[in-house]
Structure 1
């Protein structure tokens, strides 16, 4: 019953936060110079005053700001994100068309960075004065210092141009024909460089945090007691230390999911990956306000859901959190 009330409370907070994000995004877009009518007129090569008034009336821009805001929030709450004049399609349709590519890239990069980062951190903590510790530190420094787009460009130059091991751009090769397995291998081949690029900075974060957390746990009293009982190092790490060292890493992974989404914009641009990042960049350049607002809303929704799931996972793996409201 307690967990049910906690989930209900978190959902209420999430709904209020989502409405606040909607209001803030719409307000900021309206404070920016120009509007949809100006962009449409520019794409048409110009328009007279009468035409501009017709365009503004069609999009409801002639109404007072509070009326526009209320109408926008009402549409979004009824799952209508508006219509893109640039793509000539509903914004919801555009987002769900691009979503699978971005989810595939983000989830694979995040999962690999989390798994490899935890393994490197644990191995480094078990050998704090060995070469593994310096290797993890070097990875962390590179991950912190290197911008995502710079890493992507370097990988493209090295492994697509100089050593042509991987494709330069895109998600698949249109010339590849075959069954599902053949096409999946082709997509995986295209994913290698974008996944490494997107996962590099998060690999550094997870490896350093898991190393620090594991070192703290390995120095605790119950670990010393386990050693005194004659348990092997493997049993101590896997059955006792790792479970108690994971909560900070899981928390960071949930909080960093939003950063992965934003980082995907740069990675998708560098590698021409056909996802939400490419859609967002094109919409910004085209001043396609409904699409931009739709992507901002969807990104906020993903972050809120990610934080809620992180909280539930922490309650599942850490008994100390379960008793908290």
Structure 2
């Protein structure tokens, strides 16, 4: 016997349907802008190949230009690219000699792992620090959280990554300098590479996660502290205290849930910056993710891959904002998102 969806579920489904419809013209605009910006960039991969003497025959250059559609007008190239995207065809990467979507999929898991671990660290540490600072306001704990948040917010992520390498890798020798796995180790696919391989990857993941996640943890800690102090002064919190509820129950069941709303908002907005920050951190720690692929593609004028990564980043931001709206409705059913 089928169970009818509740009013909240119906509202969530309507919101999801509406956001997906709105995402179509948004993605179209993003693709057009990115394509135009790429066209304004000087040079192409043919110019680079000619400069490096990889190709010198004019007939071969003209054949390659025709093969990759570079002899078409810009507007026609744009129309062909949009039509290809509709068919989930992101183009062909001459550098990797494979489709763009395949080249991205090779590096995508490493970037997603770094992003998820960094966001998890940032939310856990940031929210916990903000709660402690608000509960222990105007005490030494509040001062310590504020000082730490100010330091990690002001420190550039690449500088923090280098300092972490110097301390934990060079000086103490506790953690690896870079990479995603030990060269020739069990995570490379050898015998017994199951749990030992996962632990090896996690061992390499610690420093990149700290370097990327502590910056966002500082932001969430400051926002959470301010939000907790503001919500604690509202009437429904005072009513809960007047009913005789314990301080811990009031903090967790009433203050914390409502104070999370600004943090959720910032998280959705910052998904794009987290992806961009992971590109920098990947360069510092030689992490084999999208960042290394993007840097190589820009250097080699491999613009189909660059466009593919930009489209992927836009999809991540759109999906994150849709998820934020749904979480908003779950945290506070009184909120009606249109």
Bin the TM-score by the shorter chain: over 0.9
1:245 aligns with 2:254: no
How far did residue 36 of structure 1 move? Answer: 2.8
Please give the secondary structure, in 2, of the residue aligned with 1:225. helix
For structure 2, list consecutive stretches of 5 or more residues without a partner in the other structure.
1-9, 187-191
Partners in 2 of 1:43 and 1:313 — Cα distance?
A: 52
Look up the match of 1:70: 79
Look up the match of 2:318: 304
3, 25, 28: which is aligned to 2:12?
3
Look up the match of 1:121: 130
How far did residue 143 of structure 1 move? Answer: 2.0
Q: TM-score, normalised by structure 2?
A: 0.92
Preserved CA contact (<8 Å) 2:240 2:250 = yes
Compared CA separation, residues 141 and 36, structure 1 to 2 (3 A): same
RMSD of Structure 2 on Structure 1 (CA):
1.4
Q: Bigger CA drift: 29-38 or 149-158? A: 29-38
1:153-206: CA deviations, max 9, x gaps?
A: 111111111111100111111333324111111111111110000001100010
165, 170, 178: which is aligned to 2:179?
170
Equivalenced residues, count: 324
Correspondence list, 1:194-209, <5 A: 194-209=208-223
Please give the secondary structure, in 2, of the residue aligned with 1:302. helix
Q: TM-score, normalised by structure 1?
A: 0.96
Q: After TM superposition, what 4+ stretches of structure 1 lie above 4 angstroms from structure 2?
A: none
Look up the match of 2:204: 190
1:191-222: CA deviations, max 9, x gaps?
A: 11100000011000100101100000111122
Look up the match of 1:222: 236
For structure 1, list consecutive stretches of 5 or more residues without a partner in the other structure.
none
Correspondence list, 1:17-36, <5 A: 17-36=26-45
Partners in 1 of 2:258 and 2:193 — Cα distance?
A: 44
Please give the secondary structure, in 2, of the residue aligned with 1:33. coil
How far did residue 91 of structure 1 move? Answer: 0.9
How far did residue 5 of structure 1 move? Answer: 2.9
Preserved CA contact (<8 Å) 2:212 2:277 = yes
Partners in 2 of 1:112 and 1:307 — Cα distance?
A: 20
